[in-house]
Amino acid sequence: MVDRRQFLTTVAAGVAAGAVPLEAVAEPRASGPSPVPQLSAGLAPPAFHPLALGAIRPRGWLQRQLRTQADGLSGHLDEFWPDVGQSQWFGGKAEGWERAPYWLDGAIPLAWLLDDQPMKARISRYVDVILAQQRPDGWYGPYPEDAVTKRYDMWAILLANKVLAQYHDVTGDPRVLAAITRSLHALLSGLDRTPLYGWGRFRWYEGLVPVYHVYERAPEPWLLELARKLRAQGVDFQALFATDDLAAPTPRRGLWKWTKHVVNTAMAAKASALSWRLDQRPADRTFAKGMIAFLDQHHGQVTGMFAGDECLAGKNPLQGTELCSVVEFMYSLEQLFSVFGDPFFGDRLERVAFNALPATFAPDMWSHQYDQQVNQAQCTINPDHSWTTNGPESNLYGLEPNFGCCTSNMHQGWPKFVAHLWMESPDEGLVAAAWAPCQIETSSHDVPIRVDVETDYPFRDTVKVVIEPDAPVRFPLRLRVPAWATGATVRIGSGGEMPMTPGTLHVIDRQWDAGRVTLALRFPMRPKASVRYNESVAVERGPLVYALRIGEEWTRVNADKPNRELPHGDFEVRPTTPWNYGLVLDPARPEDSLTFEDRPIGDRPFSPEGAGVVARARGRQIPGWKLAHGWAGEVSPADVAWSDPGKAPTDQPVENVTLIPYGCTNIRITEFPRVR
Ligand SMILES: [Zn+2]
């Protein structure tokens, strides 16, 4: 925990909070050509560089998850949703702003990682239209003709170039690199005529991603001039966090504020890291960790996210977290791990990816929520809601509940997670940033290498990594050891088990012989109970959070609204089994009252039926804990009777209750009162 003054002192001092464990610092070696694009002195290289898009392929449960996504809304949205299919970006008459670029931002990596030919063909046609519509002065088609003289919010331009950089990365199409370069050049002078305001001012750093993409391939000084101009015109988040009151939750039906906007906040977590590459300011190195600690303290949820529905909403598990903020925070964490090489960001990335991300989709990924709640007893059209600034449909599972931003932006979560599982280091090494089944094709010192990561992590605690170079080659392998994994070990081939230190990157620097070398990793997962809002308790084990499994009844609603033909309809979800349990659990000794059972991982790993692990706990119903304002009532400290039997809120018998991973639930209780 950091208090406000401590946080600001930390930021000002530029020390401690962002310190990278020694083992994470890569010492560049002098030999051999680097597979990382050569960087000029003008831009500091990241600690670790993401592999080219497509070098990492999903396997096992992760491949099934991406296939489910492509068979759901992500792979079909352009076929029926006008704001994407008829977008002005694609030559149509509908929306010409952020929605089509948002969809491409996830659809491009999704289609290429799955090698989904029909989807790839459609996307390539769309990109061809974007290129064909680009004007000689560099502005893209939807950019209004008079925008060179009138005020225009540059956000969509920043976004589109970031998206096209991904397309260039995976296809190598030189026309795309040329188009991005022309657009950035137009932006360089355009920003003098119409400086950043609105969304562009709060999201300026997204523009640095395509600037760096071009600069790493053609290091021309004007690109860094553009990067500095974007930063100078954009919001200074370090100053914002030092001056604005971001700690207080936005009141119910409160005032919408740019500065407390949850998606802007999630995106801005990477601003300082991208800025650091420009001039290595010490404060840029330390800010992100301090910002995350501040958000945890005042708005943090057990999922690794912070509440914002859609302005920062405090720690109450009834407040919502917008889906856009989930996928954007994941991307920020991927960038933060890349730039600073700090395993902390990999831990947090897994926490969000395995909990907050899957929970907010229906298991078939045809519908999603705008806002998810950690304690979510039911999802209904609810005019009596207590969101800060969102509307009554925000926790429905649907096509575009509340607003269509998440409908267009949600697609990037899983595919970018896959693309950032492993990275390469400047010393020709490989780095495991996050753990999930995948296959990597890369090289070191020009020797082709294949890596197979065989695991059911996070549902199991073992990971098998098979390294297979074509010829003998020496390179360091860095393995992220989660901070919670006390007792972690690795065994190379038939050798003995070696301990690994939690919260570090474990380095194995050796000669890898041609053929297969197998590493067996173990990350022991122990139950943990954390005391949270109003003295409630939440159960965690490894990277997974656990929540009460509740029977569900799905009811179709809004069938008369446009574009709601099944399978992409809107649904309410109501409980068919009791949810008002307190847990009989001593937070100091959770292992005494919890047992975990492995189950087969379902075709849909993040569904109540497909849960790959379940927890047995003991609980008692609390008759006074009822629905309020259409939601579960607030957990009251008075319901927490662990330490004071005289205040026991229930005379109900102790029962066995089943918890499943949070990401597998659609409705749930996650923060429980504690009862004797
Ligand atoms: Zn959204």
Q: How far is the CA of 19 from the centre of ligand 1 (A)?
A: 32
Given a contact cutoff of 8 angstroms between Cβ atoms, the answer to whether 492 and 511 are in contact is no
Q: Which two tokens stand for residue 138?
A: 């560099």
CA 494 to each of CA 58, 352, 461, 520: distance values in angstroms, whole numbers, following the listed order? 27, 35, 19, 10
Give the Cα separation of 595 and 73 in Å (integer).
Answer: 36
How far, rounded to the nearest angstrom, does the alpha carbon of residue 652 sit from its chain's CA centroid?
40
Q: From 96, 101, 182, select the one nearest 136 (Cα to Cα).
A: 182
Partnered with residue 672 across adjacent β-strands are 537
Alpha carbon distance, N-terminus to C-terminus of the chain: 29
Q: How far is the CA of 404 from the centre of ligand 1 (A)?
A: 7
Give the Cα separation of 272 and 566 in Å (integer).
Answer: 43
Q: How far is the CA of 155 from the centre of ligand 1 (A)?
A: 15
Q: How far is the CA of 397 from the centre of ligand 1 (A)?
A: 13
Q: How far is the CA of 103 from the centre of ligand 1 (A)?
A: 12
Q: Is 570 helix (H, G, I), strand (E, B) or coil?
A: strand
Give the Cα separation of 373 and 75 in Å (integer).
Answer: 26
Give the Cα separation of 7 and 2 in Å (integer).
Answer: 6
For 392-512, strand residue ranges (E) read 422-424, 430-432, 438-444, 447-455, 462-469, 473-481, 489-492, 497-499, 504-512
Give the Cα separation of 599 and 63 in Å (integer).
Answer: 19
The 8-class DSSP code of residue 150 comes to S
Q: Which two tokens stand for residue 654?
A: 């102790």
Given a contact cutoff of 8 angstroms between Cβ atoms, the answer to whether 56 and 418 are in contact is yes
Q: How far is the CA of 635 from the centre of ligand 1 (A)?
A: 27
Q: From 455, 480, 453, select the one nearest 467 (Cα to Cα).
A: 453
Which amino acid type is present at position 464? K
Q: How far is the CA of 395 from the centre of ligand 1 (A)?
A: 12
- Name the CA dihedral angle for 265, 270, 273, 279, rounded to a multiple of 10 degrees: -60
Give the Cα separation of 444 and 477 in Å (integer).
Answer: 11
Q: 455 burial class (0-12, 13-18, 19+ CB within 10 angstroms)?
A: buried
pLDDT means over runs of 10, the chain (676 residues): 35 32 34 39 92 97 98 98 97 95 98 98 98 94 72 93 98 98 95 94 98 97 98 97 90 95 98 97 97 98 98 98 98 98 98 98 98 98 97 98 98 98 98 98 98 98 98 98 98 97 98 96 97 95 98 98 96 98 94 96 96 97 94 82 58 95 98 90
Q: How far is the CA of 310 from the centre of ligand 1 (A)?
A: 9
Give the Cα separation of 234 and 211 in Å (integer).
Answer: 15
Q: Under 8 Å CB-to-CB from 574, ≥6 apart: which residues? A: 378, 379, 380, 552, 553, 555, 667
Question: What per-residue confidence (pLDDT) applies to 639?
Answer: 64
The 8-class DSSP code of residue 354 comes to I
Give the Cα separation of 616 and 598 in Å (integer).
Answer: 11
Q: How far is the CA of 313 from the centre of ligand 1 (A)?
A: 15
Give the Cα separation of 63 and 292 in Å (integer).
Answer: 30
Give the Cα separation of 363 and 660 in Å (integer).
Answer: 14
Give the Cα separation of 41 and 393 in Å (integer).
Answer: 51
Q: Is 220 helix (H, G, I), strand (E, B) or coil?
A: coil
Q: How far is the CA of 53 from the centre of ligand 1 (A)?
A: 25
Report the residue count for the chain.
Answer: 676
Give the Cα separation of 532 and 537 in Å (integer).
Answer: 6
Q: How far is the CA of 249 from the centre of ligand 1 (A)?
A: 19
Q: Which two tokens stand for residue 206?
A: 């997204």
Q: How far is the CA of 625 from the centre of ligand 1 (A)?
A: 31
Q: Is 6 helix (H, G, I), strand (E, B) or coil?
A: helix
Give the Cα separation of 323 and 399 in Å (integer).
Answer: 13
Q: How far is the CA of 407 from the centre of ligand 1 (A)?
A: 7
Question: What per-residue confidence (pLDDT) applies to 29?
Answer: 34
Q: How far is the CA of 549 from the centre of ligand 1 (A)?
A: 27
CA 440 to each of CA 27, 57, 341, 400, 446: distance values in angstroms, whole numbers, following the listed order? 23, 6, 19, 35, 15
Q: How far is the CA of 590 from the centre of ligand 1 (A)?
A: 36
Q: How far is the CA of 403 from the centre of ligand 1 (A)?
A: 7
Q: How far is the CA of 410 from the centre of ligand 1 (A)?
A: 8
Q: How far is the CA of 369 from the centre of ligand 1 (A)?
A: 9
Q: How far is the CA of 511 from the centre of ligand 1 (A)?
A: 47
Q: How far is the CA of 263 from the centre of ligand 1 (A)?
A: 7
Q: How far is the CA of 314 from the centre of ligand 1 (A)?
A: 18
Q: What is the maximal distance between C-alpha atoms in the chain?
A: 78
Q: How far is the CA of 412 from the centre of ligand 1 (A)?
A: 12
Q: Is 670 helix (H, G, I), strand (E, B) or coil?
A: coil
Q: How far is the CA of 320 from the centre of ligand 1 (A)?
A: 12
Q: How far is the CA of 56 from the centre of ligand 1 (A)?
A: 28
Q: Is 72 helix (H, G, I), strand (E, B) or coil?
A: coil
Q: How far is the CA of 57 from the centre of ligand 1 (A)?
A: 27
- Name the CA dihedral angle for 572, 318, 65, 121, rounded to a multiple of 10 degrees: 70
Question: What per-residue confidence (pLDDT) applies to 32?
Answer: 34
Question: What per-residue confidence (pLDDT) applies to 649?
Answer: 74
Q: Is 30 helix (H, G, I), strand (E, B) or coil?
A: coil
Q: How far is the CA of 25 from the centre of ligand 1 (A)?
A: 36
Q: How far is the CA of 324 from the centre of ligand 1 (A)?
A: 4
Q: Which two tokens stand for residue 185?
A: 């050049």
Q: Which two tokens stand for residue 123?
A: 């996307």
Q: From 436, 484, 443, 441, select the one nearest 464 (Cα to Cα).
A: 436
H or E stretch at 540: strand 537-541
Give the Cα separation of 159 and 183 in Å (integer).
Answer: 12
In this structure, the strands spanning 438-444 and 320-322 are unpaired
CA triple 425-37-276, angle to 5 deg: 70
Q: How far is the CA of 409 from the centre of ligand 1 (A)?
A: 7
Q: How far is the CA of 309 from the centre of ligand 1 (A)?
A: 10
Give the number of other CB atoms < 10 A from CB of residue 195: 15
Q: How far is the CA of 154 from the centre of ligand 1 (A)?
A: 19
Which amino acid type is present at position 319? Q
Q: How far is the CA of 418 from the centre of ligand 1 (A)?
A: 22
Q: How far is the CA of 322 from the centre of ligand 1 (A)?
A: 6
Q: How far is the CA of 499 from the centre of ligand 1 (A)?
A: 42
Partnered with residue 372 across adjacent β-strands are 321
Q: How far is the CA of 370 from the centre of ligand 1 (A)?
A: 6
Q: How far is the CA of 323 from the centre of ligand 1 (A)?
A: 6
Q: From 422, 425, 424, 449, select the one nearest 436 (Cα to Cα).
A: 422
Q: How far is the CA of 637 from the centre of ligand 1 (A)?
A: 33
CA triple 452-352-276, angle to 5 deg: 85
Q: How far is the CA of 299 from the centre of ligand 1 (A)?
A: 18
Residue 558 phi/psi, 5° resolution? 60, 25
Give the Cα separation of 400 and 98 in Å (integer).
Answer: 15
Q: 239 burial class (0-12, 13-18, 19+ CB within 10 angstroms)?
A: exposed
Q: How far is the CA of 472 from the centre of ligand 1 (A)?
A: 48
Q: How far is the CA of 325 from the centre of ligand 1 (A)?
A: 7
Given a contact cutoff of 8 angstroms between Cβ atoms, the answer to whether 208 and 220 are in contact is no
Q: How far is the CA of 451 from the centre of ligand 1 (A)?
A: 36
Q: How far is the CA of 406 from the centre of ligand 1 (A)?
A: 3
Given a contact cutoff of 8 angstroms between Cβ atoms, the answer to whether 166 and 185 are in contact is no
Q: How far is the CA of 182 from the centre of ligand 1 (A)?
A: 30
Q: How far is the CA of 430 from the centre of ligand 1 (A)?
A: 34
Q: How far is the CA of 393 from the centre of ligand 1 (A)?
A: 13
Q: How far is the CA of 83 from the centre of ligand 1 (A)?
A: 14
Q: How far is the CA of 100 from the centre of ligand 1 (A)?
A: 14
Q: How far is the CA of 408 from the centre of ligand 1 (A)?
A: 8
pTM of the model: 0.93
